[in-house]
Structure 1
Amino acid sequence: MPHPQILIVSPASARENNGNWQTASRWQRFLRAGYRVRIAPSWQDGDPVPDLLIALHARRSGPALAAFRAAHPHKPALLVLTGTDLYRDIHEDDSARASLGLADALVVLQPDGLAQLTAQQQARTHVIYQSAPRLRPYRGRRERADIAMIGHLRPEKDPLTFMGAATRIEDSAVRLLHIGAALDPGLADAARATAAATPHYCWLGALPHLPARRRLRRCHAMVIASRMEGGANVIIEAVTSGVPVLASHVGGNVGMLGEDYAGYFPAGDAGALARLIERSVQDTRFHARLRRQCAARARLFAPAAERAAVLDLVDNLLLFPEPT
């Protein structure tokens, strides 16, 4: 008897190499042991019919989810909620809100996301942390204290705060490395202008996933300055590489790193970020504290844990679809 078929609808492709694509690709690997799995940008009536549809992004994959539910109301569907879903779209966009009611089960990528949902929606929501393989922490000599920010240049990631921090850095040992493609021409112009104005900032552009992670592993710390996050892969990749995180104090980051984490700064505050960066470089005890706190979270981001949670949810949906 052939294995059941699963379709993962992802608005992102391998070419875009963003968090949605990393999630889709990783879940495909997890599920291949027991299922036939493919990834596609959409689904419409007349396409091959999977036994289960997994939609990433309530708004952008909403048309595919709606079409699938209308054509095959008795087949299960799962919706994975992103940061823009949770912290913006489901509060402002009718189609994103509608998607919540069309899926048999919902997934959020860290527990703070539950607070954005109603009690009825929470009852069919599963928290599944994303994962990354552990890399041995870098122990070599560092000539400079490189601070990485990894994320395409778009407003939600708030790259201007990272650039603004670079202009305020006074420690000559500090260099801010920005990895990501220019999805916004204005932000690309700002990155080039910042690089020309200060030796503390270097925009490396887009890098493939593995080279970016190798570069991250050699850094002193990583910054995530986002205005909204669902459960950032880059936090996981930093933590599982022994690199402490300097994070904007927004719900998605707190859900990943914990309420008591010492490495937060107010979202959008370039001065506070610059001070936090310099403290992490100059205060060895503070840096060690951040590393200890990150190491304590690493167990949450183990591939075996994510794989088990995904397989358990999918197996149960195919056997016993949850009531919407």
Structure 2
Amino acid sequence: MHLLIITPAGPDSKAGNRATALRWQVLLEQSGHQVQVLTGYEGETADLMIALHAWRSAHAVEAWREQNPDKPLIVVLTGTDIYHHQHEYPGVTLASMDTADLLIGLHDLVARDIPESFSDKLVTLRQSAAQPAVRGGSRPEPGQFNICVIGHLRDEKDSLRAALAARHLPEDSSIVVNCAGRPHTEEWREKALSESKDNPRFHWLGELDKPGLENLMAVSSVMVISSVMEGGANVVSEACRAGLPILASDIPGNKGLLGEDYPGYFPVGDDKALAQLMSRAEREPEYLAKLRAAVSALAETFTPEKERQSLDEALARVLDIRG
């Protein structure tokens, strides 16, 4: 088939939605489809459209349905769709969800947080990550217990929570928090620079390329994902594939990937609780090993082969719906 993938993130963006669109383009082309990645819909001819983001891609969703009333439409629900936009802009967001023939959620608990009327057309897909050249924590730096934070600096990510937690650590701790990511706003840039200056345990590294990120994970013993909302962060997939232990905020987007019983959760926004887990990971080898075993056990659920299979199944289902 000829497929369109719509993402609001432009060609130069390194946002998660853009990365997802490009990864899906490769996987779907491997399945024999012709795939275009666009930022909007301008009447292009295709057999099926996949729109990333119910709210931000709402115009494309509406235009596709008006021009192609009998052709399949899939809408992918992002974290901001589920946990913000459907409440802040319910008319537009829910209209996109209603218009779609199929909805894709990126973690196992999405059904709990969208209207029950949409549950029948919701499928779950786990985003994949390539097998890294080196494992997480494989090159620890002497005298330091490195903890990484990876992702754009923005409110939804609560990006400095690990830095704030590091301020609560005992003086003899060797923990250093290294944060890699582009600031979403100038305000976030200033906050990251200020924290780097005032907090000796925190280093903001800016935006790193893929080799830089792989190296950061290799020297890190733990990753922190402190988000207040997530649709299913790909960085979780990457850490699990690398065998890098995760400390995660106890939000549905993290629990829906790591499981309800994962041993590394802390209450969202609670830097003191996070500090306790960070210290425990540093000082208790058994706890760190337990975290590593848990992420390693999940690694096979985040392979490109699994994601491609899920995409193929989603296409088959939406074609069946359309008859």
Superposition TM-score, scaled by structure 1 size:
0.93
Q: For 1:198-217, what aligned pairs fall within 5 Å after superposition? A: 198-217=199-218
Give the CA RMSD over aligned residues: 1.6
65, 70, 75: which one aligns with 1:69? 65
Against the structure 1 CA distance between its residues 209 and 12, is the aligned structure 2 distance closer, same or farther, given a 3 Å change threshold? farther
Does the Cα contact within 8 Å between 1:124 and 1:322 map onto a contact in 2? no
Deviation at 1:70, TM superposition (A): 1.1
Q: Residue type matched to 1:159 in 2?
A: S
- Whichever residue aligns with residue 111 of structure 2, its letter is L
Structure 1: gaps of 5 or more residues: none
Q: Cα 1:258–1:63, aligned 2, differ >3 Å: closer, same or farther?
A: same
Residue 133 of structure 1 aligns with which residue?
A: 130
- Give me the whole-angstrom Cα distance separating, in 2, the residues matched to 1:213 and 1:15: 21
- 2:36 corresponding residue in structure 1: 38
CA offsets 1:208-266 (integer angstroms, 9 cap, x no match): 23421332233101000100001100011011101010000101000011111111111
Rounded to whole Å, the distance in 1 between the matches of 2:140 and 2:245 is: 17
Deviation at residue 316 of structure 1 after TM alignment = 4.0
Number of paired residues? 317
Segments of 4+ moved more than 6 angstroms: none
Paired letter, 2:125: I
AA at the equivalent of 2:126: Y
Quote the residue 1:268 is aligned against.
269
Once the two structures are superposed, what CA deviation does each residue of 1:59-110 show, in whole Å capped at 9, x if it has no partner?
Answer: 1011110111111111111001011111121123121111001111000011
For the Cα contact (< 8 Å) 2:3–2:33, is it kept in 1?
yes
- Alignment-mate amino acid for residue 120 of structure 1: S
The CA distance in 2 between the partners of 1:89 and 1:244, in whole Å, is 31
Alignment of 1:122-271 (within 5 A): 122-135=119-132, 136-137=134-135, 138-143=137-142, 144-170=144-170, 171-271=172-272
Distance 1:286 1:35, change over 3 A: same
The equivalent residue for 1:91 is 87
Q: Distance in 2 between matches of 1:210 and 1:96?
A: 37
Contact 2:58 2:92 (8 Å CA) reproduced: yes
Kept after mapping to 2: 8 A contact 1:17/1:209: no
Deviating more after overlay: 267-276 vs 230-239: 267-276
Matched residue type, 1:76: P
Residue type at the aligned position of 1:286: Y
Tell me which residue corresponds to 2:4.
7
Give the 3 Å change call, closer, same or farther, for CA 14–266 of structure 1 in structure 2.
farther
Question: SS of the counterpart of 1:299?
Answer: helix
One-letter identity of the residue aligned with 2:146: D
Letter in 1 for 2:102: A
For normalisation by structure 2, the TM-score amounts to: 0.94
CA deviation vs aligned residue, 1:141-168 (integer Å, no higher than 9, x gap): 5322111111111100012322311322
| Aligned amino acid, residue 152 of structure 2 | H
Q: Is 2:83 aligned against 1:82?
A: no
Q: Distance in 2 between matches of 1:90 and 1:28?
A: 27
Deviation at 1:301, TM superposition (A): 0.9
- Structure 2 residue aligned with 1:17: 14
Question: Does the 8 Å contact 2:163/2:201 carry over to 1?
Answer: no
AA aligned to 1:61 is: S
What's the secondary structure of 1:320's corresponding residue?
helix
Q: Does 1:52 align with 2:48?
A: yes
